[in-house]
Amino acid sequence: MSLLDEVVLERPVTLLAAPVGFGKTSTLAQWCGHTGSTVGWLTVDEFDSDPDRFFRHIVSAIQVALHVHGRSDAGLLLDIVARDVIGPWPQAAGWPDHYDELVLALEELEHPLVLVLDDLHLLTGSEARDILARLMRLTPAVFHLLLSSRSDPELPLNRLRLAGDLGEVRERDLAFSGPEIEALAKLAGLSLSAEDAESLHALTGGWPAAVRMGLLTLQHEPAPDFRLAGMQRIDLPLTEYLTEEVLASLRPDLAQFIMRATIGDRIDAGLADELHGGPGGAELLAEAVRRGVFLTPESDGVGDLTYRWHPVFASQCRLIMRRETLHAAHELQHTAAGYWRTRDGFEAIGAALAGDEPHLAADILTERWPEVLLRNDARALLDLCDRIPAPFADDAEILRLRAVGEFLEGQPSSHTVTQARAAAEALPPERHRRFELIDTLVSVFLAPDRPGPEEAIRRGRAALGDGDDVPVARALGHLLVGETMAQLQSDPIGALSHLRKGEDLAIEHRLPAMAFACQSASSVPLFQCGQFAEAHSLAREAIGRARRGGRHWASLVVPAYLTCGLADYWHDDLGAATRSLDQVVRLAPSRQEGYRLHAVLILTLIAVASDDAAALERAQTLAREQTGTPSTYLAGFVRMVDAISADARGDQAQALALVQDLGTSEQHPLVRLWEAETYRRAGDAPRARAALAGIPASRRISHIQVGALLTETLLKLGDVDAAEAHRSLETALEAASPDLIRRPFIERALDLRGLLYDHHAWGTQYVALVADLLARMQDHGNGHRNRSYWDLTDRELVVLAYLRSPMTTIEIAEALFVSSNTVKTHMRSIYRKLGASGRRDAVRIAVDRHTI
């Protein structure tokens, strides 16, 4: 009631759309008695497709409502009759003769009037719909249309939606929640616990008609909780209701298609054609969607658009189908299993089991399990293994997959692994090869007692070899090897090669989740190879696809979140970087420890930059929580987090000690870069230069190169070699410009700011970038000081930094994305506040006052 109160009188049109059995008419009738507004009611039927009849009924419904309420402003509306009267009695209003008269009369209303049009899905005539569309366009402010339909009517709703003039009440608003089911049970004299109410909610999906039938089933049960525990969707007595209320209202060919199409819970256009027996199924599916026949669109972000039937509706249709033709139902299940086999293993296995083909289900599971695991989770894989009956459940590969589900769910798995390896001895050669590859991949990349990442990569690559058999398992192997190499960051080209091989195999064998995982993971080695913009674009695309498909929580997008976090950090967008890196920390499973530690390292740097002690302490805790045996690179990350934290506390001696403990072995370039900066700030130039020399030329990419050049610049400045410092700074600006790498400059702002100011006079090709950096340094350096009226604003400080460059006023305006008049206004304010006579004088005064 409160939702309808909120939307109906605030918008000209409100749509109440939900399938049959969601209580639309009951809800509207209750609201009519609840609201204090005048409400007219018209229940549409198939005869209202005649436009003249439909128009007369609209006018009549409005007149009756106004007459009952005794409205004093209803005179014109009550007087609408035909002008040419034949016989002694006036005729009713007609279309289109009285349309303008109706609109003018509605405009005379002084108080709200709501017209309810119920069962609008029965309005099929285009001329009748045109009447309603005109009313929607021309309604005065006090007239409101409340449309109730089983599906979205063919009316111009999008225009209203975009303008914010459409109120919407949907299936999700009308569905019952667990607490509402509990309250309804009490009204029916049935006592249900909160847990039982939630069970009934899960069973029915909150569909009010199904909830009501469920309560009727439980009403005379001596132990409702026990009965509910064993109840299935087919136990709800809804079949006659569905036949009478839903299927009987449809054309015979559409009703027959729906009976066949509900053989599974999911469907897409391709499967619709298969179940229909040829072309035409996709069109019937589209019509079912338009009619709102219990279909919800969904996408997993990696494949085509699919639809999901309401589970109760689908199960009841399957029950009708099995009662009538069990053999036909099994044939349809077989067709669905074959269709989903190369698209979604989880759906295929379910269809095979429902069709009483456990051997087919076992074959699909052993063939497609990596895709099942990537699309779902360990629990789903374990549930599928549990559903495979004997003797197929004792197959070596099924047992090995059960062990995967067990240890990923934290259950003991060693006994199952032993059983699987013993049973594998009896497998034929081809299946034995597949078993060995799966066993190796699981043991070295996924198992709790897996080896360190370097050993895992070596054994994984050896297991893959040069063969081209067992392509699905090989695709998973390339993903796991490439992802682990990407986390080590020692061979990004090799990592990229494996991930692209995995993607190619996944595309060839129709493994969309696998292909998506490889694409997402590829963003990390691309970033490591210096392809900054391409990596960032690929990562953003992956995250967008995952969000659209509702899978942004999955570990598949962890590498994409890391790439976005790194790119945003080096762009100096710390807020965006933190959001992405927090997702890495939250979502990364144990096999993605390298991604997680890299994210923690950057979060540590952000915490220091933001002067956030709590965030710094959290980062240290996260770094120490790493599991397994880290590589040399990853151990360096953990040590570096501690060193950064010590340095932030002002304990430079401890920071230096931690840096020295890193030793001379090969380290991640970021670790070496921070090591060099630590030595430089401590005044130890030789060690700083030695640390920079430890970064191989092949690893000096993008942000690393910029950071190294800036440290070299400051070392030269410390040697009082200003000319060399400026040349080095110009080289750093050149390296930073293509990808807008800003963060290394901001990190060294205290030591670099003066040199950057002087760099304008020295001469630079990167005037706009220097001005942008100086403005950012000003923002970082001001803190939270109190300003007087004569202090420069942040925007004026930015303009002042540009004034030191040779840029014209128009060029400054273009760089700041403002008009030249705006820049001139800021310049006049700067001159007034500084007491300057012009541009050059303002820069001189600002330098003297250390404003810049």
**Residue 578, CA distances (Å) to 125, 509, 645 in order:** 55, 37, 18
CB 38 within 8 A of CB 32: no
pLDDT of residue 840: 86
Over residues 597-656, the pLDDT tens digits come to 999 999 999 998 888 888 888 998 888 876 554 555 567 778 888 888 888 887 878 888
Higher pLDDT, residue 424 or 70? 424
For residue 550, pLDDT over 80 is answered with: no
* 86 band by pLDDT with thresholds 50, 70 and 90: very low
H or E segment to which residue 63 belongs: helix 51-69
CATH 3.40.50.2300 for domain 2-174: no
Task: Answer yes or no: is pLDDT of 189 > 80.
Answer: yes
* pLDDT > 70: percent of the chain: 93
- Tell me: pLDDT of 114 over 80: yes
Instruction: Please tell me the predicted confidence (pLDDT) of residue 787.
Output: 39
Evaluate whether 513 touches 380 at the Cβ level (below 8 Å).
Answer: no
pLDDT at 81: 59
> Residue 373 has which token pair?
């695991």
Work out the pLDDT band at 303, boundaries 50, 70, 90: low
Provide the residue ranges of all domains of the chain, joining segments of one domain with +: 2-174, 178-237, 525-729, 785-852
Average pLDDT, whole number, for the chain?
A: 86
- The string of pLDDT tens digits covering residues 15-54 is 999 988 899 999 999 999 888 889 999 999 888 888 888 8
- Quick one: pLDDT at residue 27? 93
β-strand pairing of 266-267 with 113-118: unpaired
If one compares 81 and 38, the residue with the highest pLDDT of the two is 38
Q: What is the pLDDT of residues 773-795, one digit of tens each?
A: 888 887 654 433 333 435 677 78
Per-residue pLDDT reduced to its tens digit, 221-271:
778 778 887 788 887 888 888 888 888 888 899 999 999 999 999 999 999
Q: What angle do CA 506, 510, 511 make, to 5 degrees?
A: 55
Cα dist from 211 to 191, 224, 318, whole Å: 14, 14, 19
553 pLDDT above the threshold of 70: no
Using the Cα atoms of residue 502, residue 505, residue 511 and residue 516 in order, give the sign of their dihedral.
positive
* pLDDT number for residue 713: 93
Mean pLDDT of 813-838: 84
Least confident of 23-27, 83-87, 499-503, 697-701: 83-87
Strands (E), 261-351: 266-267, 295-298, 306-309
Query: Once rounded to an integer, what is the mean pLDDT over residues 53-78?
Result: 84
Among residues of the chain, what percentage have pLDDT more than 90?
Answer: 35
pLDDT at res. 715: 92
Bigger pLDDT: 849 vs 788: 849
Go through 597-610 and write b for each residue having 16 or more CB atoms within 10 A of its CB, e for each that does not.
bbbbbbbbbbbbbe
The backbone region for 681, taken as left when phi is positive above 0, alpha when psi lies in -120 to 50, beta otherwise, is: alpha
Least confident among 159-168, 198-207, 548-557 = 548-557
pLDDT tens for each residue of 479-502: 999 999 999 887 899 999 999 999
pLDDT at 84 over 60: no
pLDDT at 632: 58
Q: What is the pLDDT of residue 467?
A: 74
Say yes or no: domain 785-852 is CATH 1.10.10.10. yes
Q: Does pLDDT of 302 surpass 60?
A: no
d(CA 271, CA 287): 15
For 297-322, what is the mean pLDDT?
Answer: 81
Q: Read off the amino acid at residue 761.
A: A
| Confidence check: pLDDT of 413 > 60 | yes
Domain covering 525-729, topology: 1.25.40
Note the pLDDT of residue 784. Answer: 32
pLDDT at 848 over 60: yes
Question: Across 29-112, where does the E strand assignment appear?
Answer: 38-43
- Taking the C-alpha atoms of residue 345 and residue 330, their distance in angstroms, rounded to an integer, is 18
DSSP string, 388-399: SPTTGGGSHHHH
Q: pLDDT, tens digit, for every residue of 497-534?
A: 999 999 999 999 888 889 999 999 999 999 999 899 99
pLDDT at residue 783, rounded to an integer: 36
